[in-house]
Amino acid sequence: MWEELERGDGGADAGQRLARGLRERPARGQDTPGFGHHLYPAGDPRASALLARILPRRPEWERLIEQAFELSGQRPSVDFSLVAVRRHLGLPPGAAFGLFALGRSIGWLAHGLEQRGSPDVIRPRAAYTGIHPDAA
């Protein structure tokens, strides 16, 4: 979506291009990139936490988010917020994925440290209910 906004002169018609794109996507069977998450229908808390730090410095992005919500009914996802952080910090394209991977790896390290400090094996609270692999 950012790339769509950056095409052209970036002037007053940027909002019109965004609105047109947001209206046309559902008609083409497309989701709004960077908006909506099936696990967080009321809004992605990760996105909210990241955007809360940069939106005060980027009011034009807040307007973009408001317009996207009005047109799509969806709030920003962590994907949108990571791209916003990347752009705010002046990092190169593709760095948003690196930021995501960094956050994920920190979580893995935390799980490893937690496991190391426990005498028992930590079991996830989920149970597989599908077909047993040997039966397939």
Q: Which tokens go with 28?
A: 């083409």
For residue 104, what is the enclosing H or E element? helix 95-116
Structure tokens at 121: 């094996």
The answer to whether residues 50 and 78 touch, using CB atoms and an 8 Å cutoff, is yes
CA distance 1 to 109: 33
**Catalytic residue positions, numbered:** 37, 79
Tokens 């007053």 belong to 12
Burial of 114 (0-12, 13-18, 19+ CB in 10 A): exposed
**Residue 77's Cα: distance from chain center in Å?**
3
